[in-house]
Amino acid sequence: MSNHAHLIISAKENNVSSVLGDFKKHTSKQIIKAIKEHPGESRREWMLKIFKDAGEQNSRNDSYQFWIQDNQPKVIYTEAFAAQKLEYIHNNPVDAGIVEKAEEYIYSSARNYYYGKQCGLIEIEFLF
């Protein structure tokens, strides 16, 4: 999605908060770096100002803030609940009107599930 992400992750010792924190820290640094270094990015100044202003409003941040602080984690204990969450994630771009079919959204694992192979932009571990 253009303004948020949905993930199904697992972590050793149920340390999901740490994994999510590391993910957000790494991706935010890489995204800010890409914005700064991309020569064709016409919105560079505008985006960096927004992220800088957000970072200055957060005492736990020393520069830019890309991700919001809160998360909405759900613990998945059953296969049925996992299937429900996966369907919700896959249908998110459809519900937002971005695509007509979930497998058309290139940033989703829906295409992997639809075609039954590793054909998306990132390698996934199939749940079912």
The string of pLDDT tens digits covering residues 74-110 is: 889 899 999 999 999 999 999 999 999 999 999 999 9
Percent of residues, the chain, with pLDDT higher than 90: 62
Q: List the one residue out of 103, 64, 121, 90 whose CA is nearest residue 1.
A: 90
Q: Is residue 82 part of a domain?
A: yes
Q: What is the DSSP secondary structure assignment for residue 41, as one 8-state letter? A: -
User: For position 98, what pLDDT does the model report?
Assistant: 96
Q: Is residue 3 part of a domain?
A: no
Q: Does residue 71 register a pLDDT over 90?
A: no
Q: Is residue 127 part of a domain?
A: yes
User: For position 66, what pLDDT does the model report?
Assistant: 93
Q: Is residue 30 part of a domain?
A: yes
Q: Is residue 7 part of a domain?
A: no
- The predicted model scores a pTM of 0.79
Is the same domain home to 52 and 100?
no
Q: Is residue 1 part of a domain?
A: no
Q: Say how far apart CA 119 and CA 102 lie, in whole Å.
A: 14
35 or 121, which is more confident? 35
Cβ atoms within 10 Å, residue 59: 6
Q: Does residue 1 register a pLDDT over 80?
A: no
User: For position 128, what pLDDT does the model report?
Assistant: 87
Q: Is residue 6 part of a domain?
A: no
The pLDDT tens digits for 21-41 are 899 999 999 999 999 999 899
Alpha helices per DSSP H over the chain: 16-37, 44-56, 79-95, 110-115
Is the same domain home to 48 and 78?
no
Q: Is residue 79 part of a domain?
A: yes
Number of domains in the chain: 2
Is the same domain home to 50 and 86?
no
Decide: 102 and 110 in contact? Cβ < 8 Å. yes
Taking the alpha carbons at both ends of the chain, their separation in whole angstroms is: 23
Q: Say how far apart CA 49 and CA 59 lie, in whole Å.
A: 17
Which structural domain, as residue segments, surrounds residue 109? 74-128
For the chain, the average pLDDT equals 91
Is the same domain home to 49 and 84?
no
